Amino acid sequence: MDQEVDKAQILVASNRGPVSFSIGDDGTIDFRRGGGGLVSGLSSVAAETDTLWVCAALSDADRKAASAAPEGRLDRAGYDLGGASVRMLDIPEQTFTNAYNSVANSTLWFVHHMLYDTPNKPHFDAAFRAEWEDYRTYNAAFAEALLTGADDGAKVAVQDYHLALVPRMMRGRRPDLRIAHFSHTPWAPPEYFRMLPGDVGRQLLEGMLGADHIGFLSPRWADAFLRCCATFLRADVNWDNRTIDYGGRVVEVGVHGLGADAEGLRERAAAEDVAQWRSRLRETVGERKLVLRVDRSELSKNIVRGMAAFGELLRDRPEWRGAVTHLAFAYPSRGDVAEYRAYTEAVRRTAQEINDEFGTDDWTPVILEVKDDYARSLASYQIADVLLVNPIRDGMNLVAKEGPVLSENGVALVLSTEAGAADDLGSDALLVNPYDVTETAQALHDALNMQDAERQERNARLVEAAVALPPQRWFGDQLRALD
């Protein structure tokens, strides 16, 4: 952590917290620390600064652990949370479901990633209005917990689309606080954002503008946000400095890119379970080339078109039949949302169709695993020849950055132009239009044919770019922006 950051208390708010609980067969509560940029970012300051992380309880086990913790603080219940103090909010189930599944994940996520199949969805009826009220209630619960937990002059870092209303809900009541909002997603262009009904769009923009600083992962998303503020609020936007003059306050919009946590990754990848997975995967793939993808099973990740591109490669370039395996790890995600379940089924069907068309007794073209296993993902990064990252839209995409860091022999990266990561990696990746299956098939072919020397040189430059913005720095930048 750089020295110039002052020692004010730091509060973080996010839907998903840094820790999760589960109840074992014998009824005991087990806890697991999560990963990700925010966890490493906050851990780096937690040792020297007073911190409080407010998040939602996401399971019965979370609720049980949270309710048993003294003053609702999990660290005070003796869990090792790396020095951070964590408070999990027990939001009533219906409120949470409406806020998280319906508004955040089925609406805001869809708008920012442009995922709607518009002849059918969105469909903003009376039910949506009620869900929106629950989203407000859920945001208010976070605002209240932060207001209660914040010392004078504290810095508050509110994360993501789940909590867009929180900054404004806090602003009027505590002018002493310094508030940042950070979006991990893309931001919708005005043409898409305007689909939101009634004054929902206005409430979201005004909610975020309650912050002093609003951060995005890519200049593209920051500029889209500015465009929405200019279009829907008629706010006075300074495009050069990225500031917004609105309601008598000037709010700064910043770009804070996020890179791979190289040290953390390498340390984790050195563990025995990763080594075991590495040999098992090597055995499965054998001498064949390996095209890898690692994602949540998520509509925005564009897994079906990625597989279709692999199918087209096999169809048009018979030389690859039997010579390459596509490993697709698609971790279960947001299973309460019907579109996600249907999408995962479509992913399974597509894999099956390709295997039916091309598979032989001793070769399965697509090996799809819909199961979370971090050690297996790290092992697969080590041995992949080609890494396919083709999202429709993505705030950043850390797979594109982590893969090259762990690659042993250099990996050729096929990357969507619509991922924030393309800003940093674009010159050494093979860029593709995520909707263009034929172009993606061609890129896979080029990537598979890339000479060793070129692939390794590109990989070295990818790594350099990927580690340039470690999570500690990314988080520190958000805080420094509040100084």
258 or 291: whose CB is closer to ligand G6P? Answer: 258
What is the rounded distance in angstroms from the CA atom of residue 436 to the CA atom of residue 41? 36
Is 16 an interacting residue with respect to ligand G6P (CB under 6 A)? Answer: yes
What is the rounded distance in angstroms from the CA atom of residue 352 to the CA atom of residue 354? 5
Q: To the nearest whole angstrom, how small is the minimum distance from the Cβ of residue 162 to ligand G6P? A: 7
The two most distant CA atoms of the chain are separated, in Å, by 70
Is 44 an interacting residue with respect to ligand G6P (CB under 6 A)? Answer: no
Query: DSSP code of 232?
Result: H
Q: To the nearest whole angstrom, how small is the minimum distance from the Cβ of residue 334 to ligand G6P? A: 5
Q: To the nearest whole angstrom, how small is the minimum distance from the Cβ of residue 222 to ligand G6P? A: 16
Is 333 an interacting residue with respect to ligand G6P (CB under 6 A)? Answer: yes
Is 334 an interacting residue with respect to ligand G6P (CB under 6 A)? Answer: yes
Q: To the nearest whole angstrom, how small is the minimum distance from the Cβ of residue 319 to ligand G6P? A: 38
What is the rounded distance in angstroms from the CA atom of residue 102 to the CA atom of residue 336? 10
Q: To the nearest whole angstrom, how small is the minimum distance from the Cβ of residue 105 to ligand G6P? A: 6
Q: To the nearest whole angstrom, how small is the minimum distance from the Cβ of residue 380 to ligand G6P? A: 20
Q: To the nearest whole angstrom, how small is the minimum distance from the Cβ of residue 287 to ligand G6P? A: 36
Site string for ligand G6P, 454-483 (x = CB under 6 A): ------------------------------
- Going by C-beta distance under 8 Å and a sequence separation of 6 or more, which residues neighbour residue 330? 293, 295, 296, 297, 301, 303, 344, 347, 368, 369, 370
120: tokens are: 């059918």
What is the rounded distance in angstroms from the CA atom of residue 360 to the CA atom of residue 472? 48
Output the CA torsion sign for 421, 423, 426, 427: negative
| Whether the Cβ atoms of residue 220 and residue 185 lie closer than 8 Å to each other | no
213 or 334: whose CB is closer to ligand G6P? Answer: 334
Taking CB under 6 A as the criterion, which residues in 245-264 touch ligand G6P? none
90 or 353: whose CB is closer to ligand G6P? Answer: 90
Q: To the nearest whole angstrom, how small is the minimum distance from the Cβ of residue 71 to ligand G6P? A: 26
Q: To the nearest whole angstrom, how small is the minimum distance from the Cβ of residue 469 to ligand G6P? A: 17
Amino acid sitting at position 453: A
101 or 137: whose CB is closer to ligand G6P? Answer: 101
412: tokens are: 């050729």
16 or 121: whose CB is closer to ligand G6P? Answer: 16
Query: Quick one: which of 76, 77, 73 has its CA closest to 29?
Result: 77
Q: Which residues pair with 294 in a beta bridge?
A: 329
203 or 333: whose CB is closer to ligand G6P? Answer: 333
What is the rounded distance in angstroms from the CA atom of residue 89 to the CA atom of residue 63? 8
253 or 291: whose CB is closer to ligand G6P? Answer: 253
102: tokens are: 């319906």
Closest residue by beta carbon to ligand G6P: 184
Is 160 an interacting residue with respect to ligand G6P (CB under 6 A)? Answer: yes
154 or 163: whose CB is closer to ligand G6P? Answer: 163
37 or 149: whose CB is closer to ligand G6P? Answer: 37
Output the CA torsion sign for 193, 198, 202, 205: negative
Q: To the nearest whole angstrom, how small is the minimum distance from the Cβ of residue 388 to ligand G6P? A: 19
Site string for ligand G6P, 173-192 (x = CB under 6 A): -----------xx-------
Is 62 an interacting residue with respect to ligand G6P (CB under 6 A)? Answer: no
| Whether the Cβ atoms of residue 212 and residue 480 lie closer than 8 Å to each other | no
396 or 411: whose CB is closer to ligand G6P? Answer: 396
What is the rounded distance in angstroms from the CA atom of residue 11 to the CA atom of residue 146? 7
Q: How far is CA 71 from CA 26, 74, 117, 146, in A?
A: 26, 9, 46, 14
Residues in contact with ligand G6P by the rule CB under 6 A = 16, 160, 184-185, 333-334
